């Protein structure tokens, strides 16, 4: 299985464990854990889950574990929901002129951000610790903004989220801190999650935060997914930067996260399902990896809708595992493959021009082969990618198989009424641009 796990190690960030920094050295390297022994789990020290977290003493680190395997497994029941399978979509390819800049496209731009007017894109470049600006209109690299990992302007050694706030400011999230910077790399504000209080003036328990999202319509409002691992709960925290107040909302009212959480029998090692966070300007959108659920929450933290658009072409949900505990790495792998092979959903993105939502989904087939003259078994992955289209009320309009797409774990966004999907074509940053008729 070594070939499979090395193949996609750079593109998936959807399973993770939480540790505190003093224990970080105890962990195996990703390359060791996911090549020769891909199912080796990470142990989480008991001390990582104090009853009352001391945020001045501890920092939380998200260790991302690549999601690398899938198995096509269709088990959904027939739905009477009508939908249209659109075959006559139009497609174009945009290649970005790098101007000899070594653009960092190893993560398929999954942590990049586009400006509200969709004129340019900012992407973290780990090669030289900087932010690269891509001019989407001229289809070329524009400029680079150096960052610092440490010090008063430090953003951490690895940026896992970028959003553009306006022409001069952008937001970064790293493993342990979130910041607002100008294009000179100067930190203008640290996001003070630990200091924020609820409406009654109380400090909320602090949990590791994974995704964060700044509202495009009101940048004072920032949402984050907070993981209470002990109780297997996920919350949506909405921070008002102006008032320093935070509202906590149940991000998983259907208990979907817990249903698909795979634990070892020691209750310490685990594989968890991804929960995605995005927005449409006036709302934050929480969605799931193995379920079609979309939780719609306004900027004040009021839940407006729990949409579950069903399709006849792809399952609405993966089957819930009958036994969430596993004793061996083989059992873990089999359960995980059974989940991800049925269906995998990506985040929901809003197209303000056509007033529609887009969402990628995928089904995968794995074939084991032996090379001639060798006893080593290798696994070849084939992925069928779909574009799901929803109206402004999250009613399903169409599900479109797009044969030109081979990966679903990529950055995608709406621009000029079309869906732009990031690609690595011959080691060059490119986009497949899909036009879907209304």
Res 82: pLDDT: 40
- pLDDT category at 365 given cuts 50, 70, 90 is confident
Res 368: pLDDT: 77
**Mean pLDDT calculated for residue range 381-407:** 94
Residue 193 or 28, more confident? 193
Res 428: pLDDT: 96
Cβ neighbors of 294 (< 8 A, separation 6 or more) are: 285, 286, 287, 305, 306, 307, 308, 309, 348, 394
| Interior/surface letters 97-115, b for 16+ CB within 10 angstroms, e for the rest | ebeebebbbebbbbbbbbb
Cα torsion 36, 38, 44, 45 to 10°: value is -20
pLDDT at residue 271 above 80?
yes
Res 338: pLDDT: 82
Kindly list the structural domains of the chain, giving each domain's residue range(s) and its CATH number in brackets, ordered by start: 2-435 (2.120.10.30)
**Mean pLDDT calculated for residue range 208-223:** 96
- pLDDT category at 412 given cuts 50, 70, 90 is very high
Residue 167 or 218, more confident? 218
Average pLDDT of the chain to the nearest whole number: 81
**Mean pLDDT calculated for residue range 20-39:** 27
Among residues 142, 122, 118, 119, the alpha carbon closest in space to that of 131 is found at: 122
The β-bridge partners of 398 are 84, 389
Residue 16 or 302, more confident? 302
**pLDDT 10s digits, 272-294:** 899 999 999 899 999 999 999 99
pLDDT over 90 percentage in the chain? 66
Q: Lowest-confidence range among 24-38, 72-86, 381-395?
A: 24-38
Res 35: pLDDT: 27
**pLDDT 10s digits, 97-136:** 999 999 999 999 999 999 999 999 999 999 999 999 999 9
DSSP assigned state of 334: H
- pLDDT category at 267 given cuts 50, 70, 90 is low
Helix (H) or strand (E) holding 130: strand 130-135
Q: Which residue has the tokens 């107040």?
A: 245
Going from the C-alpha of 27 to that of each of 1, 23, 65, 157, the distances in angstroms are: 21, 7, 12, 18
Residue 341 or 305, more confident? 305
Residue 6 or 314, more confident? 314
DSSP 183-245: TTS-EEEE--TTT-B-TTSPBPPP--EEEEEE-SS-TTEEEEEEEETTTTEEEEEEEETTTTE
| Bridging pattern class, strands 262-264 and 325-326 | parallel
C-alpha count within 13 angstroms, C-beta hemisphere, residue 222: 29
Res 307: pLDDT: 98
**Mean pLDDT calculated for residue range 313-321:** 94
Q: Cβ(126)–Cβ(132) under 8 Å?
A: no
pLDDT at residue 178 above 60?
yes
Q: Using only C-alpha atoms, what is the Rg of the chain? A: 21
C-alpha count within 13 angstroms, C-beta hemisphere, residue 212: 28
Q: Lowest-confidence range among 100-114, 155-169, 264-278?
A: 264-278
**pLDDT 10s digits, 292-305:** 999 999 999 999 99
Res 437: pLDDT: 92
- pLDDT category at 22 given cuts 50, 70, 90 is very low
**Mean pLDDT calculated for residue range 58-69:** 31
Q: Cβ(58)–Cβ(206) under 8 Å?
A: no
């Amino acid at each position: 299985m070594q070939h499979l796990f090395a193949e996609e190690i750079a593109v998936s960030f959807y399973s993770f464990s939480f540790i505190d920094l003093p224990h970080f050295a105890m962990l195996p390297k990703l390359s060791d854990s996911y090549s020769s022994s891909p199912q080796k789990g990470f142990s989480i020290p008991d001390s990582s889950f104090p009853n009352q977290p001391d945020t001045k003493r501890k920092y939380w680190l998200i260790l991302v574990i690549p999601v690398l395997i899938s198995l096509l497994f269709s088990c959904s029941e027939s739905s009477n929901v009508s939908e249209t399978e659109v075959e006559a979509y139009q497609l174009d390819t945009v290649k970005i002129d790098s101007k000899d800049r070594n653009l960092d496209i190893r993560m398929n731009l999954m942590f990049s951000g586009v400006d509200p007017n969709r004129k340019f894109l900012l992407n973290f470049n780990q090669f030289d610790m900087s932010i690269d600006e891509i001019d989407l209109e001229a289809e070329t690299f524009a400029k680079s903004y150096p960052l610092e990992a440490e010090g008063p302007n430090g953003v951490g050694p690895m940026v896992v989220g970028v959003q553009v706030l306006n022409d001069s400011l952008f937001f970064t999230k790293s493993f342990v801190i979130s910041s607002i910077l100008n294009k000179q790399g100067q930190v203008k504000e640290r996001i003070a999650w630990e200091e924020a209080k609820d409406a009654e003036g109380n400090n909320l328990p602090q949990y590791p935060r994974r995704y964060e999202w700044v509202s495009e319509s009101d940048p004072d409002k920032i949402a984050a997914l907070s993981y209470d691992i002990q109780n297997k709960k996920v919350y949506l925290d909405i921070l008002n930067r102006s008032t320093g107040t935070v509202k906590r909302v149940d991000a998983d009212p259907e208990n979907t996260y817990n249903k698909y959480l795979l634990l070892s029998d020691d209750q310490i090692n685990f594989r968890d399902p991804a929960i995605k966070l995005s927005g449409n300007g006036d709302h934050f959108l929480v969605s799931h990896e193995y379920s079609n659920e979309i939780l719609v929450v306004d900027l004040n933290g009021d839940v407006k809708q729990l949409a579950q658009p069903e399709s006849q072409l792809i399952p609405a949900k993966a089957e819930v595992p009958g036994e969430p505990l596993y004793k061996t790495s083989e059992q873990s792998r089999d359960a995980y493959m059974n989940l991800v092979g049925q269906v995998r959903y990506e985040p929901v993105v809003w197209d303000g021009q056509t007033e529609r939502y887009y969402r990628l989904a995928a089904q995968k087939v794995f074939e084991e082969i032996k090379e001639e003259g060798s006893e080593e078994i290798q696994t070849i992955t084939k992925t069928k990618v779909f574009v799901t289209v929803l109206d402004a009320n999250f009613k399903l309009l169409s599900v479109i198989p797009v044969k030109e797409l081979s990966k679903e774990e990529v950055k995608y966004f709406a621009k000029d009424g079309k869906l732009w999907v990031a690609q690595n074509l011959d080691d060059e940053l490119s986009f497949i641009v899909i036009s879907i008729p209304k």
